[in-house]
Every structure is written in structure tokens, then in C-alpha cells.
Chain A
Amino acid sequence: MPRAKIHVGLEIGTSKVCMLVGEVKVDGSVKILGIGTAKSAGVRKGEISDYVKVRACVEDARRKAEESSDVQIGSVFLSITGNHLVGVNSTGTYRLPEREKQIHAGYLKEAEKIARGIHLTDEQVIVHQSPRLYRVDGFEHTAPPVGLFGKTIESDYHMVYGLGTRIQNSIKCVRELSMEVDDVVFAPIAAAQYALYRDEKESGVLLIDIGGGTTDYVLYLNGAIAASGCIALGGEHVTNDIHMITELQFTRAETLKIREGHASGESSHDVGGIKIPVDESGFTHQDVKRELLNAIIRERMLEILNLIKKRLPAGALERVGSGVILSGGSSAMRGLDQLVKEVFGLSVNLSTRLEISGVQANFQDPQYITCLGLIRYAQYLEIEKRRTSSPFTKFWPFGRKS
């Protein structure tokens, strides 16, 4: 019998550690019970560089989450990111044995195994694999062709692989706080579970999650992942750029970025300067020209977006029907939507979904999307587990969920 189950999502980000406790109810709806966030330390470009500090931060977040949700957290779903994670598409072709005409699930497994045979070094491990497309004798099927007649099966898979040791270290960091890790999820894939609707995935959509230290993206075409990846550039780089060029202090650069920055590149926003008065921290009076500030931000953002554009498979953007969805803390940057539109030539939405109950206003912020996605991911996994009893649909669910 299905019953309500509590899942916890943990994201160790470059700028914040976020732990979210959600309850998946019997009817499939999700209720957020509590949240704990802590300012992050010891994380650089999405990867843990100082374990002691990170442990303290996670501990802090956990305490807050437990307090607010009144749940004792024993295990979490952990989102991971970092430059080492790479998404690739791979095809496995399997030819059915002679006299065998019908495709069994076992043959699909064989095809999958062949698809998994991408060239990896010893350190690299596959984190995710999700089927994109099946071809039976050249004819495309989006659903697993089990039971159909055919001679050769080709299955396209999207694989995400990364450095095993780094992933293990992240897991170890959590385990040391006497919590178990249910599963590790590549951050943009987690975010996509929450931020994207099924029809959007079907018509093609690009999710860009611009965080503090990394920018993650995932592209859905025809309901399946077509590309995903991580670029080790994010909001912190913008702050750093401002700091280096204007010689403002980090804290001031950060405030300036959030309060005054504008990424669209329209000259109407470049007028005048910003005066930063003497404040209690003892810094002197400083002046920054808006034109300079916006140019710094724009250059960085443009570079990030162009890198993503470059990494997407050729011709993929034309097939995107539902535009670009932005999430992550840095997506709150003003004028970014215009810039994204300029780079990709697609419509832009900030992701704000309202289908989760709990204290609504708290979760509207795009910076919680990955955590919310983790809960959703856990929910799907749960359903999947229940389904494995039926022999026909034991395949990975991304986007293909009914």
C-alpha cells in the first residue's frame, strides 16, 4: 500500500547549502514541511574544497531544517555539480539473434549495455543514464519497443558521467554527519524535474540554472534529455569581475551586482553612476559608472550563455518549442532574460511553479528549484520502484513519466 513518505533534498551550492524536507502524499502531491539554508563556505565552483567548513554548513542547514519541519533527517538525496560532470549521448545497437523476431526486455538491456560502453577513464563513473529514443530497424519509437517485432534495436541514451572520487567525497561528507545518501543527482536534472512541465519537455525546452559557482543546463527534446552539462562559471564570477575591475570590496561588489546590475546591454540602463557612500564597515566613498558595471556583467553573462550555446548539439535550438527556462540565484539578475533572448533567440521564462503546497511564498525563489527538484526526483524514483514489479516498464523515467 502506498503511503505518505518524507524525502529530503540536499544541495551543497557555492553560495548556500540548502536542505529541504518534503512529504509526498498518497495522491502524489508534494508538501514542503521545512527548509534549512546556511551560507556556504568551503565550496568553490560547485565542488567541495574544504570539508570541515562544508560539514559545519551542512550541519547548520540540517539543524534548521529539522527544527522547522519537526522531522529527524536520516537520509538525503544529494545534488552534485561541477566541471567534471559531462553529459553525452550514446547509441547502443543490438542485433537480435537469428529466428528471434520479438523484442524482449532482455534485448533492450543488451542494447543499453552497449550504449553504456562509452570510453571512460578509470576514475570516471556514469551518474545518470536516460533513454532518449529507440529505433527498431530504423523506425523511431519514443517508448521502449518491448514486444514489438524487429531485427535490430538501437537505443539512444543520454549519459552523465563524472569523476567517481569527487562524487564519493561529496557523499562521504554527508555520511560523516550520520545521514545516508539515497541517491546522487546531477543538479540540472534534478532542477528539471520540478521546473519543467511534461508538455514543455515534449516540445523541447532548455533549462539554465545559473548558480553561484556553476551554471548547469539541460536540454529536453521530444520529451527526453538531449544534452546536459555544467560550466564552472556563475554569479560569483560576476562578483569577482566587478571586484577586480572596479576594485570594490567583495561584499560591496555583491550588493552592487544585486541592486544595480543590469545585463541587457541597453544603453538606457547605462546612464550615470552609482555612489556608494561611506558605511559602517569603514570603506571609503566610491563611485562606479553604470556603463562599466553593466558592461562587466554583460560580458560575463554573455560568455556563459555563449558557452552553453556552443555545447548544445547542432541544430538543437531550432527544435526547442518552449523556450528557455531560467533558474538559480543568478537568474534574478535584471535584464538577463533579454540577454538570453538575444543569445538563443527563444522566449524566456523565469521558473516559478505553484504546484507545491506549504508556505508558498518561500519557495518562489528560483534558488530553491534544485532542492524542490530533488524531492520530485525522489518521488519519481519511488513510483518507479513500485512499478518494477511489472516486467515491461523497468526503464529510467526521465520525462517519459506518465
Chain B
Amino acid sequence: MIEFPRETQHTIPTSHVKIIGLGGAGANMLDRVALDGLDGAEILALNADVRTLNGSVASERIQLGRNLTKGLGCGGDPELGKNVTLEAETEIRMSIKGRKIVFLCVGLGGGTGSGGAPMVCRIAREEDAFVVVFATMPFVFEGERRRQQAQTSLNELAVLSNALVVFDNNRMGELVVAKQGIHEAFQAGDKMIADSIKAVIRLVTRPGLIHVGLDELMTALRTTRSRCLFGSGVANGKDRAAKALANALASPLLDKGALLRETASLLVHICGGADLTLYEVELLMQKLTKQVPEKAHVLFGAAIDESMHDQLSITLISSLPEEKLQEKPQASAVEEKPILEPTEGFGFDQEAAESVIAPLPEPMPVLSNFSFDIAPAVAATQEVAREEKPSASSLPEAVPAIPASKSAFADPIAPVEVVEPKIASPFAEPLAAAPPSALPADFTSLIPPKPATTLPAPKLAGSIPPPKNALPGSAPAAATPSPAAAAAAEIRQATPGRKPIFGAARAASTAPQDSPAEESTEAEASAARSTEESAVPAVSKMIEKTRAKHLQEELLLEKEQLGRFAGTDPTIEDGDNLDIPPFLRKKKK
């Protein structure tokens, strides 16, 4: 047999990669990358302050603002930072020319960094490079002004760059123990960024058994205005696959893996020495798939790198639209707005949908499945409502449906005008009270591995009486704990005399005739379809709201999970109740 080496796949030579450090913070990151050793990639330092620039270990340095600042820094003025960068534009352009991929390291908040970064980014894009920006956000104690400067710059970068990886300095505390020195904290921050850069470079430059390259990287990061989720871990020794994954998920950027549950596509790159086994890869992927949603597009890559020796590294890259990162605090603000009275057109539709759904979570014993079901139901309601919009005559019909639904849940039957604001307020309050720390965690993480609750769909079939007559049927339907059933009944109410159009509505209508198993699957299937198809932002926002609500309920539940140790002196260490199984605590984080 003739052995022949596998064709090395076309990769980007390291000479096509350029790493740029801009400003003081950028220079620090760059030094860390350079000192940790990076074979081949070119390193360029840009700074207005000559002293810092000369202290940099970068092979290539460009002084910004020779005439404008004359070797001094920008003094925290982004405008000046922008101008000095523009002054050196041709030099920068020459340096970037012909590079396929450019990493820009920058600390936002100051002058050179905040002002210059968007300019450098634009120049690089104009030179047809793939630009990945690694930016750090200032500490809170640095003041509101710097924060705003950073935010402005970040917004520009989000549009200009191909990928944006943001490290919040405030999270640096997670990297080191509080007692450790400040220099160590900064070092740890720089090191993490350096590791990230190296991991991305390794990913695009090394030939792979299962290759991933720029195209996959772009797929994983392709969403406009998104934040990059990034985690990378290296481990060796026994059980290295699990350890490496744990390290990767521990990245503060992933919020301990919680943010991965929202992601749509994920790039996984595994790199190991010659002894990388299939078993390890399989084990690792098995563990990882538990962290991401089933629908997520997982781009898998593996490579053998002899220089890794007995180590195994895993890199996770994904992105999340910015609104998903921020929407949770926003959601509560939106809800506090009381619904005064129905208005025409779309505005009404949304609020009607909201108020129909709003009271639902209150009497809900079936918690863990709640948001799965309610989400499509919302979408369905939305669809129904929109369908109705053209015919003005159907509007008044929809209005009485709201108080009817309300009365089903809360006993006192009140006139429309009084009820409406009430609907809004109980919903908004618990949300506002929800601890902000709990918000980023995803709801699925809180569901115990084996939820004792049953699926709501069969319940729907079992407990719902034939809803032939919409109004009398609504009360018992609401009394059932299943949200899907209640929501479906709601829809029937909202569309009297109309053919049920979509998803859950159809499920409700078929409920009495079909066998429980059949209809539950159908309801789920159609529900899934409806979620995919509803791209209305209001709906996704509403889903988030219900999720946030869901979170809080679960937290209350968790407090009681002490088993035998309920009621004893709690053993508290570092704010953790040690009587709760570490297995669960770790998952929550």
C-alpha cells in the first residue's frame, strides 16, 4: 500500500494575519499575545503616545498624530483620537494591505482607542480584510462619560467590523479572586484576550482533519449588530476532553455557558496532539450538545497539531444579537407602561395579545414547560389578531374577549376600563422585582434534570371540555393548568365565528375529537412552525418577558430544594448554600 500524506487544505498563511493594538490598552493586549509566542503573525502597534509605543514589543509600530499631538497621548478625547488616526491613514493602509484577516485589539473609553478604532476598522475593511475586533469596556468606576464614549465607539464598531468580541472590564473580577492584586486582574484580562486571539488564529491558519475556515467563522458570527460569544479551554491529562470543555464554558463571555442556549449557530474547533482520540471528540461533542439548543447549527472542526503534545484545546465561537443580551432589563421597562385603552390597528393588536397572555402565568403549576407553550400561543394570537385587522367590524368583538379572559383567571369581574390597567400591573411588578443577576441565565438551565412536571399537551386533551361554545367553555378551560389549552381557548374567543387559522387555534379545535397523543404532537408541531414564522419583534420580546417571569418562579422553587437538610442551620460558604447539591449549583451558574 502506498501511503501518501493528506493534502494540506488551503489555509491562510500566518503572513496574511495582522494583529493591531490600538492605544494603551491595545498595546498591553498585544504585548501579551507577542510574549506568549505567536509564530509568524505580524504585530502592529498604533499609539499616539510615543513613550508607550516605544515600550511595546511589537515588530511594527506606527505613531499616530505626529503633527497633531506631537508624541503625546490624546488625553481621553475621542475626537482627537479620530483625527490622529486619520493623519496616519496612509501608513496604516500600507501596513494592512493584502492581509486577509485583521485582529484589532483596543481598550474603549479613552481617546485613542475610542476615536481611532472605528477608523482603523474602516480602513481595514476597505482593504478587504476580515476584521475581528477585541474590545474592552471600561470599569464602571471610570465614570459615565468614558462609558458613553466607549458605547458610542462600540456601536460604530458593531457596524463596521466583521466580528466584535467585547470584554467587559467589570467582569474581570470573575477571572481572579478578589484578594489578588490589581495587576494580576489586568494580566488575567489580557491573557484571556490573548488566548482568544490565538485560538481564532489557530482556527483559521491550521490545516484541519475536518476543516473550518473563514467561511465557517463568518457563518458563526453572521448577525448584524451582534456580540461575539467566545470560549476557549485547554487541558491535558486524564479526562482532558471534559476539562477543556469546562474551561471553555467557564469563560465570562459565555456567562458560564448560559448564553449558548440562545445561540443559532455555533462553531466548535477541537485541536489536539497526535493522540487525540475519536472517543474524546465524541464525548466532548456529546457534552456540548447539551448546552446548545437542538436547532442550533453546529459547525464542527477538528485538527491535529503536533505542538500541542498531550494537550487538547477547544474553541467555541458564536454570536448573539445584541438585543438578546440587553432585552431582559428592557422588557420590564416596556411592561410598566399601563395599557390605557384599545387603539386602532397594530398597536391594539399587540397589546391585546399581551393582555390576553399576561394573566396566564399566575395560576400555573406547570412551570417548566411554560414558555415553550406560551410562546407559540402568543405567536398564534398575533397571527389571529393581524388577520382580523382589515375588518374593522371584528375589532369590537375582540375587545370583550379580553375582560372575559381576565375574569376566567381572576375572580372579580370588572368593567373593561377598570380591568385593563390591572392586567398590566400584576404582570409588570414581579418582573421589576426580578433580580437582575438572574436575568442573563437562561430558563432551561433552571429546570432540574428530571422535571417532575408532566407535559402540558396531554393535559390539554384530558382536561379540556369540548369548547364548542366559546364563552361558557372559557371558564373551565382557564381552570385547567395547561397554558396551551387556555391560550387556545382565548384565541377561539377572540375569533368568534371565524375559522381558526393557525397553530394552537387549530389544536384547540381538534382537541375534543382526536386522540390525546396525536393532537399533542400536532399542537407541538404547529406551535414550532408558528414560532419560526413569527418574526414580529413584539412577539420575541413577549417570549422574553415570559421567560424572565418563569425564571423568578423557578428561583423560588429552588430555595426549598434542600431535601433532608431543609430547616437546619444552613452551611454557607462564600454566599453559596452548601446544602444544595454542588451538581445543581454548578448547573445554575
Show the binding face of A for B, using Cβ within 8 Å.
44-45, 49, 83, 231-233, 236-237, 239-241, 243-247, 250, 265-267, 292, 295-296, 299-300, 302-303, 307
Contact = CB atoms under 8 A, between A and B. Distances in A.
Interface string B567-589: 01101010000110111101000
Given A246-B450, A267-B283, A241 B583 contact: yes
B239 A299 contact: no
Contact of B564 (A243, A247, A267, A300): A243
Contacts of B239: 265-267
A7 B125 CA distance: 85
Interface majority SS (helix, strand, loop, mixed), chain B: loop
A245 B563 CA distance: 10
Given A246-B450, A250-B564, A267-B239, A299 B569 contact: no
Interface residues of B, number: 24
Given A250-B564, A266-B238, A266-B239, A295 B583 contact: yes
Contacts of A302: 582
B564 A240 contact: yes
Contacts of B450: 245-247
B19 to A, nearest CB: 37
B564 A236 contact: yes
Interface centre among B450, B452, B565 (most CB of A within 10 A): B565
A240 B242 CA distance: 25
Given A265-B239, A267-B283, A244 B563 contact: yes
Contacts of A296: 581, 583
B462 interface: no
Given A266-B239, A267-B239, A267-B283, A245 B583 contact: yes
A44 B568 contact: yes
B561 interface: yes
A303 B571 CA distance: 13
A339 to B, nearest CB: 12
Given A236-B564, A246-B450, A247-B452, A241 B571 contact: no
Contact of B582 (A241, A265, A266): A241
A112 B13 CA distance: 71
5 contacts: A45-B565, A45-B569, A237-B578, A237-B579, A245-B584
B5 interface: no
A326 B548 CA distance: 46
Contact of B568 (A49, A265, A303): A49
A255 to B, nearest CB: 16
Contact of A300 (B242, B449, B452, B581): B581
Contacts of B569: 45, 83, 232
Given A49-B568, A267-B283, A300 B563 contact: no
A292 B578 contact: no
Interface string B443-471: 00000111010000000000000000000
Contacts of B583: 241, 245, 295-296, 299-300
Contact of A245 (B449, B452, B565, B573): B449
B568 A240 contact: no
Contacts of A250: 564
Contacts of B242: 267
Contacts of B581: 237, 240-241, 244-245, 296, 299-300
Interface centre among A44, A245, A247, A265 (most CB of B within 10 A): A245
